[in-house]
Amino acid sequence: MRTRITKWTMSLAIMAALALLPEGNVRGDTEEGTEARLRALEDEVRSLRDGRGEAVSTQTGFNPRTTVFGDFLGKFNPGGRFRDRTGDDRFSLRETELDMRASIDPYAKAVMIAAVREETANSFEVEIEEGYLETTSLPASLTARVGRFRQNLGALNRAHMHDLPTPTRPLVHEKFFGDEGLSGTGAQVSGLVSNPWDQYLEWTAELVNNDNDTLLDGTDGEDPAALGHLKWFGDVTGGTTLEVGTSYLHGLREDSPKHLTQQVYGVDVMAKWRPKREGLYRSFLLQGEAYWADRDVDDATNLDAHLTVASPKNARPFGAYALAQYQIDRRWYAGVRYDVSEEIGDVFDREKAVGGFLSMYTSEFLRFRLGVEHHTRNNDRTDFDVAALGVTWVFGTHPAEPYWVNR
């Protein structure tokens, strides 16, 4: 249809131009002269058409969907007993994020997310949290990403700090993967698994730089790290959905002369309930993850080569959390979370926490949150409490809601 319209437009333009010529000139032209003039007019119309298309394409390309997030957090320790935990017991503009997204062409789209974080008191760092190209039209319903992205580990790792349902990340995420969770630079491919039961099965495979500085080598890693994730999703009842996943991460620690192997196994479960009546005013979320790390240690010294702390051979630290959240009405959410985690480099160092949180939305662009946590630690270390006040604001293009928000 577009080709037919274009030909008609070109023909009408040529006929109009010929009609403006003096009658004698038209009749007196030779056949070759007429054809030359027709070709010139066709080229002119085509040039005008292409120029308009280029202008439209340029306008779209330079106007990505842009969103800015602000994430403020105040953490207070009533007893003042955890001064060793950097960044606690003070106000902090924890993160400011610039999120830009655009369609490149019919075959790909791009995401660029730059973040400014307060690493220590009044000390800020700028980094690219995510910057990747994603395909949109690969065969067999495949999707590929290249660049830097939050890795598809478990149920919570993909969420940015301002999109968490709680003031902080679970202990197992912080101790195993770092304060910001697990991100990587490399490639990702995902797709759906065909099955005779017509169930939703999604697989993800990733190959990224071996540079997570908590679990692996930091920026010194040369051999890549691999991650795989498999997820099943289904409707349990009319208003309840269930999601179950499993993850596997493999990497090498090259800080040891023996290139010790690091492996992480994980399972994640998430159930959501939303009634058919009062669907915008009531919901319930139950979520949990568990991880086991299998870390080879130096046989000669029986020490962890990375942190030089005593650990048994093939140390297997464990960590998990469970979270429950209930939506009180359209704007209010309340929940509790339980954490337990061993240190990634010392299975004898264990910390537990239990806490509650309350979130209130004034609109899709502004959220307030209160939270309290009680932490217990073994090895004769002092227990402590934390109270948190958080404010998150958004302006620009309306972003996608966090997975735990009922809209």
Q: Which two tokens stand for residue 199?
A: 């169930």
Q: Is the pTM of this model over 0.85?
A: no
Distance (Å, whole) CA 114 – CA 110: 13
Which of the four CATH numbers 3.90.45.10, 3.20.20.70, 2.40.160.10, 3.40.50.170 does domain 66-396 have?
Answer: 2.40.160.10
Distance (Å, whole) CA 213 – CA 3: 56
With cut-offs at 50, 70 and 90, classify the pLDDT of residue 62. Answer: low
- In one-letter notation, the amino acid at residue 104 is I
| Predicted confidence (pLDDT) at residue 136 exceeds the cutoff of 80 | yes
Residue bearing tokens 């269930």: 242
Q: What is the pLDDT of residues 343-389, one digit of tens each?
A: 887 778 899 999 999 999 999 999 999 999 999 998 777 889 999 99
Among residues 164, 167, 173, which one has the least CA distance to residue 291?
Answer: 173
| Predicted confidence (pLDDT) at residue 307 exceeds the cutoff of 50 | no
Q: Which two tokens stand for residue 203?
A: 């697989």
Look at residue 276 in the predicted model and tell me its pLDDT. 84
Between strands 200-208 and 240-253, the pairing is: unpaired
Q: What is the pLDDT of residues 125-135, one digit of tens each?
A: 999 999 999 99
Q: What is the pLDDT of residues 274-294, one digit of tens each?
A: 998 877 899 999 999 999 998
Look at residue 36 in the predicted model and tell me its pLDDT. 67
Averaged pLDDT for residues 94-101: 96
Distance (Å, whole) CA 392 – CA 93: 10
Look at residue 219 in the predicted model and tell me its pLDDT. 57
Look at residue 2 in the predicted model and tell me its pLDDT. 43
Look at residue 81 in the predicted model and tell me its pLDDT. 55
Listed range (40-54, 56-70, 84-98, 257-271) with the worst mean pLDDT: 40-54
Q: What is the pLDDT of residues 172-206, one digit of tens each?
A: 999 999 888 999 999 999 999 999 999 999 999 99
Q: What count of other Cβ atoms lies within 10 Å of the Cβ of residue 332? A: 13
Q: What is the pLDDT of residues 63-93, one digit of tens each?
A: 899 999 999 999 998 765 554 454 568 899 9
Look at residue 301 in the predicted model and tell me its pLDDT. 44
Look at residue 53 in the predicted model and tell me its pLDDT. 45
The stretches of 205-280 forming alpha helices (DSSP H) are none
Residue ranges per domain, the chain?
Answer: 2-53, 66-396
Q: What is the pLDDT of residues 223-240, one digit of tens each?
A: 899 999 999 999 998 899
Averaged pLDDT for residues 5-30: 47
